[in-house]
């Protein structure tokens, strides 16, 4: 076990000393970003303090709640994380529920597109991973993290092995889960760096004649993903006001990737996707009217 990697969440409390952790020979760690229903209470603090302490690599994981739509959870994870920072990579934690392989595949495909990260990782317990066919869900073994507590590494070709939930590390008062990577920090960082996934040119929405349902904010013609229009700014303001876009994203006349990703989540949440489109980045007249009503009230 040449490289040990702890993973932390709100279960470790608010008193993690990241400088002691990083300085204690843990250059890479994993933290929980989303628990299946809400952001982890310690995520923002852990993320900021880990980077301030000089962490070299930081996995960000979301627990996949079986009772909630996986695409909704993926959208909430993307909202929580925003843009990935240097050395970060996304992970989905699937430990229970039916149709695990399909749910993981849908989650990873959404997050890959939204964050521009090819092949997000998956985590599962060894027996659940085998019983649910997760080796065939499209996530390669080089992006797979398996839990199997004890002395024997699982034989599933995983890249990361969580071997204990009872390790003591510097800077953390409680026991932590810990995983082993058979290689160096540089080798693991090269693996998680991935490569940007090309973004296909999105289709322009067909023009929709007639009035919209919100008199104060009429639907602007000619607004579409990848385009430039002054109407992109009120769209971005409304997305921020309703929580679909981070407040620190700069407003622009350009309907760029950040705007498109926010609209995808909004459309999916409210059943506004175009027919046959799983991830629709275009804001249509009905979506515009609903968004403005949610942001500013009825006209």
Per-residue pLDDT of 130-151, as tens digits, reads: 899 898 888 888 899 999 987 7
Chain-wide mean pLDDT for the chain?
88
**198 located within any domain:** no
Kindly provide the b/e burial profile for residues 87-99, where b requires at least 16 CB atoms within 10 angstroms of the residue's own CB: bbbbbbbbeeeee
pLDDT of 221 over the 70 cut: yes
Which residue from 232, 230, 237, 239 is spatially nearest to 263, judged by alpha carbons? 239
Same domain, 174 and 209: no
- For 93, phi then psi, to 5°, come to -105, 105
Domain stops at, among 193, 217, 243: 193
CATH of the domain at 235: 1.10.101.10
Say whether pTM exceeds 0.75: no
Residue 33 sits in the same domain as residue 171 = yes
Q: What is the mean pLDDT of residues 227-241?
A: 92
Find the CATH number of the domain harbouring 155: 3.20.20.80
Residues 230 and 276 in one domain: yes
- pLDDT for the residue numbered 208: 37
- Residues 180, 219, single domain; the answer is no
* pLDDT above 90 (res 39): yes
Q: Are residues 15 and 103 in the same domain?
A: yes
Asked whether 119 and 139 are in contact (CB, 8 A), the reply is yes
Average pLDDT over residues 113-132: 93
Is the pLDDT assigned to residue 299 strictly greater than 70? no
pLDDT of residue 6: 96
Percent of the chain predicted with pLDDT > 90: 61
pLDDT of residue 194: 63
Q: Please tell me whether residues 50 and 186 are part of one structural domain.
A: yes
Rounded mean pLDDT, 191-206: 55
Query: Do 182 and 50 share a structural domain?
Result: yes
**pLDDT band at 68, cuts 50/70/90?**
very high
Q: What is the pLDDT of residue 196?
A: 42
Same domain for 158 and 126: yes
* 151 & 245 share domain: no
State in Å, rounded, how far the first CA of the chain is from the last one: 62
* Listed range (156-160, 166-170, 180-184, 231-235) with the worst mean pLDDT: 156-160
Distance between CA atoms of 171 and 174, rounded to whole angstroms?
Answer: 9
Domain-ending residue, one of 133, 160, 193 = 193
More confident residue, 299 or 101: 101
Same domain for 217 and 185: no
Token couple for 200:
């296909």
Give the other-Cβ count within 10 Å of 128's Cβ: 16
Across residues 173-190, what is the average pLDDT?
Answer: 93
Domain-terminating residue out of 173, 193, 213: 193
According to the model, what pLDDT value does residue 37 have?
95
Report the SS3 class of residue 81: helix
Q: Which domain holds residue 228?
A: 203-299
Q: Please, are residues 77 and 113 in contact by the beta-carbon 8 Å criterion?
A: no
With a cut of 70, say whether residue 205 has pLDDT above it.
no
24 with 107, same domain? Answer: yes
Please, which pLDDT band fits residue 213 given cuts at 50, 70 and 90? low
Asked if residue 239 is part of any domain, the answer here is yes
Does any domain span residue 87? yes
258 and 114 in a common domain: no
**Number of domains within the chain:** 2
- CA dist 30 and 14 (Å) reads 16
pLDDT of the residue at 197: 42
Q: Classify each residue of 282-291 as buried b or exposed e, where b means 16 or more C-beta atoms within 10 Å of its C-beta.
A: bbbbbbbbbb
């Amino acid at each position: 076990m040449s490289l040990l990697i702890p993973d932390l969440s709100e279960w470790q409390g608010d008193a993690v000393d990241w400088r002691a952790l990083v300085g204690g020979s843990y250059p890479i760690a994993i933290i929980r970003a989303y628990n299946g229903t809400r952001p982890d209470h310690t995520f923002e603090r852990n993320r900021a303090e880990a980077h301030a302490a000089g962490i070299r690599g930081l996995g960000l994981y979301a627990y996949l709640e079986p009772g909630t739509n996986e695409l909704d959870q993926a959208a909430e994870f993307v909202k929580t994380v925003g843009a990935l920072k240097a050395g970060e990579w996304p992970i989905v934690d699937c430990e229970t529920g039916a149709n695990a392989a399909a749910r993981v595949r849908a989650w990873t495909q959404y997050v890959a597109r939204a964050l521009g990260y090819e092949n997000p990782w998956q985590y599962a317990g060894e027996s659940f991973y085998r019983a649910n066919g997760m080796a065939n869900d499209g996530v390669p073994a080089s992006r797979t993290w398996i839990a199997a507590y004890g002395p024997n590494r699982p034989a599933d070709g995983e890249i990361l092995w969580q071997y204990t939930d009872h390790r003591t590390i510097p800077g953390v008062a409680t026991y932590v889960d810990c995983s082993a990577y058979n290689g160096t920090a540089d080798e693991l960082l090269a693996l998680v760096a991935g490569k940007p996934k090309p973004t296909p040119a999105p289709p322009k929405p067909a023009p929709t004649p007639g009035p919209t349902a919100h008199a104060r904010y009429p639907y602007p013609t000619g607004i579409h993903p990848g385009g430039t229009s002054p109407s992109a700014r009120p769209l971005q303001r409304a997305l921020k006001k309703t929580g679909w876009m981070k407040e620190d994203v700069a407003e622009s006349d350009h309907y760029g990737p950040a705007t498109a990703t926010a609209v995808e989540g909004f459309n999916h949440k409210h059943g506004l996707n175009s027919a046959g489109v799983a991830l629709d980045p275009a804001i249509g007249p009905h979506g515009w009217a609903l968004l403005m009503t949610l942001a500013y009230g009825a006209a």
